Structure formats: C-alpha cells, structure tokens
Chains A and B, each alone.
Chain A
Amino acid sequence: MESLFLQQTLNGLIIGSIYSLIAIGLTMIFGVMKISNFAHGDFAMVGAYTAVFLMAWLPGWMGWVGSVIAAAAVVGILGIVTERLIFRPLLGRWTDIDIIMVSIGLFILLENLAQLFFGATPQMISDPFRGATLGVGGVSTSMLRLFCLGFSCTAIAALQIFLNRSKLGIAIRATSQNRFAAQLMGVDINLIYTLTFWVGAALAGVGGVLYGTTFAVHPLMGAMPTLKAFVVTILGGMGNLRGAIFGGFILGVAESLGGNYLAMEYQHAIGFFIIISVLLLRPRGLFGTREGT
C-alpha cells in the first residue's frame, strides 16, 4: 500500500517535472509579452519529432543528447519565426482574445502540417538505456524516466540561474514586471521579446523530447501539453515562474495519485477540476500576486 503510494508519487514527480519544463516557457512568454500561446504544445510536438528523426539516424546516447540540442535549436528557430511573423505584428493592436485566436490558428496549422508530413501513426523515441530499470524497496522506475526527472530539474535550475544572475535574464524579468520602466532603463524590448520567445519555445522543444520519451509521439499530441501547460500556468499564476515550477509538480502528482485512488478514466480531467476550483476561489492562482495578472 505504502509502496504503491510512493510509486505513484514518484511517477507524478517525473511527469510533473516535464509539465513544469513545458509550462515555464508558456508562462515566460505570457509574463513578458502577454501572449497566451495555444500552439505551445505543438512546439513540444515539433521537438518530439525532431528527436524521432534524429534518433532513427543516430541511435543511443549520442542521438539522445543530440536530439535535445537539435530540438532546442529547431523549435527555438520556429519560435523566433512565429514571433516575428505572427505574434509581433498583432501586439498592441489587438486584444488578448485575438492573440489567443491567432495562436489557435497556429495550433491547427502545425498539427495538420505534422499530420501531412509525418503521418498519423504514433512513433516512439528509442530508449538510450535499452529499457533498464532501477528499483529501491518496492518502488521501481525505468532509468529513462529517472533520467528525464533529473534532466528537467537541471534544465529548470539552469534557467533559474540564467534569469536571476545574467544581465539578459534580469532584463527579461524586468520586462515581465513592467515593460515601460524596463524600456526607460535602456532595455531593448524587441530584443527581449525575441529572446523570450526563443527561450520559451526551446524549452517547449526540450520538454517535447522528454514528453515524447515518456508517451508516444504523434501529430495530435500537442493538444495535451498545451492544456496541461495552461493548467499549470494558471495554477501558479500566469507569468509567475516559480508558480509554474511548483504547479507542474503539483499537477503531475495530483494526476498520478488521483488517477490511482479516485478514477483512472478521469485522470486527464483532474487538472481541470483543480483549476476550475482554484479559479473560482482564487482567480489569481495559488502563487499569483495582484500584479501577476
């Protein structure tokens, strides 16, 4: 009984770390540019496909590490291109509703382009550990999933250091808090926008590789990470980085435990139950501040 609980908690933490990684990109982009990007999960999908193709060509460890780098690069470029061509021209001109709808257009476009080019059959990202598992006292998990957990935690920590220590990171946070004041302090807002979108998209791409490693890769997979990332982001307060990190782990564990103890078939609805209750009781999210919304 106890080991089942620990097992489910561990599974939840693993999935949660991936949710966090994907959600951080979403919340950064929202914080800095006030863009709610519904195509964010499709950035993850593109990242996952990058890994599928690279690993078919270069299997094993080299391939896996290469995939993460390639996914960050490919999706990062995709992010910059979409920011420049699709989102930037709309900023300041139209409402957030229009921006949501344009991102839905991008969502439909990416999803169906993927279906055209990659086919509808689900694919797997091969396991560099060759299916090895690790078990300690009744709790066991695959090396791969454990590695995913470690990897995403490292990535999150690295991002935190970048945002807190580097000059550019501080500029991003400043823009997120108050873009006019940041501009007055000499921050090049347009550069920050591009940079934020690039980092946010690249994180989604890396998250996509991890997500695709844990689940299957198929053209319609993007909807799930998009919705999960929004749930996490709202849970933590939109634009709140620390909120997104905690929110991801909370959602992962809640889904895992809820799916096990309450109802497996409603596992994917648990997040929605949580945010609907959170929004009704605390519209700014669990970690939200007045300014964050």
Chain B
Amino acid sequence: MSRQVRHLLGTVAVIAALLILPRVIQERYFLHVVVMAGIYSIMTMSWNLLAGYSGQLNLGHAAFFGIGAYTSALVAMKLGVSPWFGLLGGGVIAGFFGFLLGFPSLRLSGPYLAITTIGFAEILRLVAVNWVDLTRGSLGLSGIPLLTPIRVGGLKLEFYFERDYYYVVLAAVLFTYFCMRRFTDSEFGVSLQALRDDEQGAQSIGIHTSQYKLAVFTLSAFFAGIAGGLFAHFARLVSPDTMSLHVTFDTLTMTMIGGLGTTAGPILGAVLLSLLSEWLRTLEDFFKMDIRLVLYGILLILTIRFMHGGLVGVFQGLKERFSGYGRTRNGGADHG
C-alpha cells in the first residue's frame, strides 16, 4: 500500500470512529466534556496558527472567543436572526478585531506584543462588564437560543442534546483542521514560518511581512470567534469571564502540551487535557481538593523544559528513531 492510500484510509477510519462515538458512549456528561474539548480544539488550533506558525505571541486570544460568543448570542437574541447566521457573524466580527489587533504586531514583538494583546482583552472584558444595557454586565447573557433545526432534503436535523451539538462541533473542528492544513502546507504557511524564524530574512526575500501578519491575525481571530459562537449556543450562558486571561492561558497550555507549531498538537492537547481534567475531578474526593490547574501549571513548565515539541514532538522523535528515516516536519522543536 502506498503512503497516500494508507494516509487516506487512516483519515477515513478516524472520521468514522468520531462519527459513531456518540452512539457508543451515550452518557450525556461525557459528551458535554467532549463538545467542550472540541470547542477548545478550535481555540488551540487558531492560537497555534498565530503563536506556533507565525511566532506572534497573542495573549489576548480570549477576547476573540468572547467577541464571537457575545456577537452570536446578541444577534440571535436581539435581532431574532437565525443563530447560524450569528455564528458566522461572530467569526466575522472577531476577525475584524483580529485585523485591528494585527496592527500593533507590525511594530511590536515578544513581551511588548504580549502585554498589548493582554491589554486589548482586558479592555474588552471591562467593556463587557460595564456595558450593562447590552451585555447585562457580570451576570452575563443567559437563555441564549439553541441552534435552529436545519432541513437537508427530507431530513430534519434538530439541536437539543449534547449528541446533536457533538456533530456540529465535530464538523467545525474538522473544517478548522483542514483549513489549518491548507494554510500551513501552502506558500502562505511557509511564508509565515519564515517570518517566525527570521523576520528580516523573510522581508529580504520579498515576503510582505506586514500583510502576512494582518492576514494571520484576522484568520486566527475568525476561528476563535466561531469557537466562541459555538460555546454561546451550547452553554447558553455568556459572561465576561469568556474574555478572561484564564481562557487564554488554558488555550496556551493545551497547545504547548500537544505541540506548538504542529497541526495535530493543538487538538491532541485540547482533548487530552479536557479528559484529564474530568478524570481528576473524579479523584477530587481522594485528594480532597481540586488539583487540576496546579497540574496544568506543572505540565506547562515541564513541557517547555523537557519536551519542547510537545506530545507530537515526542511521537515524531520516536517514529524517526524506529523507522530510521523520516521527513522532519518542523515539530516546533527548534524554532527560533
């Protein structure tokens, strides 16, 4: 069997397994966790495009999530338009804000960009807290409508249960994943990596780094906004906490542990850490305390210190060792 056929079969098998998962495990709570892991996967993938592939440390990513969530919720609640429209609208508005946040990145990098992006998210969070007429302040928006049924031919798809949302989020995760693959495998992605590794070098070979930075901020924010919109219609409660620093830090931790600058790493990190958190929650009685976030901190520090390419980097290292050869896709292990 050739490499490509094997690859195709593998992809089909994974997608098939994901499709039947809710039929195999029907426990609603478990599906809830999986849906949240899916929403986080979109966040980590979009953050990874910025931080992993383009080297732009955006610590305000939660703002895009929040913008998507609020826009999507408000469009459905106040305008009475179909939530599907709002979902897309959330992505577009978040993308617009991403475009705006791209401008500081043209002049700033490292800690300066990190603080500016945090400031951006904090200002928006305070707007969400204080614009009570629109956002109901710290109480948050509740009673956000469910996604409306869609008809495909004679089939009517309704969205009530975790199971239904599972398929929506799965579709969104796969869509995001394939988009990210397209971006990173194309000339666009290669240019981004050139920009990450050596900005002046990239400019000298004719890459318009400013245009690329603005584009990547916009795209990344668009997907984070979609994640926010999905969250709004799934959790049906959006509060200013969606924009807090902790959402960004969770996203960052998941991406780093999965593997920064890899395509599979962000999903792997989001799913593993979400499941791990839930498992630790069941051990709470044993430890008599909630140690999940303590573990996040420890894992993040250890990953950067000892396992720099994340889990994907470890797998790739093992694969190369045993197969003796291997095309090294940059596992994020040696980026500058």
A116: Cβ under 8 A from any B Cβ: yes
Residues of chain B contacted by A97 (CB below 8 angstroms): 51, 55, 57, 110
A272 touching B110, Cβ below 8 Å: no
A89: Cβ under 8 A from any B Cβ: yes
Chain A residue with the shortest CB-CB distance to B137: A265
Is chain B's interface secondary structure helix, strand, loop, or mixed overall? helix
B293: Cβ under 8 A from any A Cβ: yes
A265 to B255, alpha carbons, bound, how many Å? 34
A238 to B109, alpha carbons, bound, how many Å? 13
A105: Cβ under 8 A from any B Cβ: yes
A174: Cβ under 8 A from any B Cβ: no
Using A116-B294, A275-B116 as known contacts, say yes or no to A101 and B123 having CB atoms under 8 A apart. Answer: no
B160: Cβ under 8 A from any A Cβ: no
B304 touches which of A30, A94, A269 (Cβ 8 Å)? A94
A36 touching B111, Cβ below 8 Å: yes
A251 to B85, alpha carbons, bound, how many Å? 43
Interface pick from A158-166, A193-201, A276-284:
A276-284
Interface residues on B, range: 35 or more
Per-position contact with B for A227-244: 1 when CB-CB < 8 Å, else 0? 100110010001000000
A231 touching B115, Cβ below 8 Å: yes
A187: Cβ under 8 A from any B Cβ: no
A143: Cβ under 8 A from any B Cβ: no
Using A109-B297, A109-B298 as known contacts, say yes or no to A36 and B114 having CB atoms under 8 A apart. Answer: yes
| Residues of chain A from 75 to 101 with CB closer than 8 A to chain B in the complex | 86, 89-90, 94-98, 100-101
B108 touches which of A105, A109, A112, A283 (Cβ 8 Å)? A283
Residues of chain B contacted by A94 (CB below 8 angstroms): 304, 308
| Residues of chain A from 213 to 231 with CB closer than 8 A to chain B in the complex | 223, 227, 230-231
Given contact pairs A30-B111, A36-B111, A283-B108, a sample of 16 additional A-B residue pairs in the complex whose CB atoms are under 8 Å apart? A90-B304, A96-B111, A97-B57, A100-B111, A101-B304, A102-B300, A105-B300, A105-B304, A108-B249, A112-B291, A116-B290, A227-B118, A231-B115, A266-B130, A272-B119, A283-B107
